[in-house]
Structure 1
């Protein structure tokens, strides 16, 4: 999945995405509250493939202090997050990615889920996705 754009609800913020390396589902309390849903779908973008082309997003530290969340100053849509555990990537809310086919592409299928211990019992795990009960754990070298 390459050469995509991501925009907020009002269109004030516009991001060019040269590459999406993977997607994931997050079931943490913060993502639930920010999305108003049972989980957030997040696309991992290498920092060099992320280009803010328009807008001046505001930001705030995450509740745990492990990262920064960026959102549109006008419509307040959460756009992306940055985390200390992976400074080489931006984590874009997948719903911000433009195009009706965005979720139909093979690369859009989540490869892992985090905070699965908080996943609702009625929601099934994504087939083939790595399951992490807590937050993201870097692969062991």
Structure 2
């Protein structure tokens, strides 16, 4: 049986569900991800859009410029401001979930397999052992 992952914002106004595991999981050091998370990088899981469902709530959407310079639509909670997922017209068949919103023990089950935009990683942030490194996007 395929895994089911659920996630929510801080205030639980928006809840989501993904059927099956992520196609990819990694750290992104691009400026957009840093600004979206307020941290040095974002841990992201890529799921097929067909496996993604909004269970409750309606996100607000902010159009940003992704690390590649192309449009990125950041979905977030208008109440608590949690950044939840990103979509891009260039890859309309996927959603990029911010892993920190996942419920339960998902963070223990999922480990990063790659790092993107490592050319923008601060020198004091170490790379993840065994994660494939990409200086820019993948």
TM-score of the superposed pair, with normalisation by structure 2: 0.89
For 1:119 and 1:65, the matched residues in 2 are separated by 20
The Cα shift of 1:113 comes to 0.8
TM-score of the superposed pair, with normalisation by structure 1: 0.87
Which runs of 4 or more aligned residues in structure 1 lie more than 4 Å from their structure 2 counterparts after TM superposition?
none
Q: Deviations over 1:68-112 (max 9, x none)?
A: 11111111111100123322110010000001x22211xx11111
The corresponding residue for 2:115 is 113
The corresponding residue for 1:17 is 18
For 1:34 and 1:47, the matched residues in 2 are separated by 21
Q: How many residues align?
A: 133
For 2:61 and 2:31, the matched residues in 1 are separated by 19
The corresponding residue for 1:122 is 124
**Of 99, 106, 110, which aligns to 1:102?**
106
Which runs of structure 2 are paired with 1:70-89 in the superposition (5 Å)?
Answer: 70-89=75-94
The corresponding residue for 1:5 is 6
Say if 2:73 is the partner of 1:68.
yes
Residue range with higher mean Cα deviation, 63-72 or 11-20: 63-72
The corresponding residue for 2:32 is 30
RMSD: 1.4
Secondary structure of 1:81's aligned partner: strand
Gapped regions of structure 2 (runs ≥ 5): none
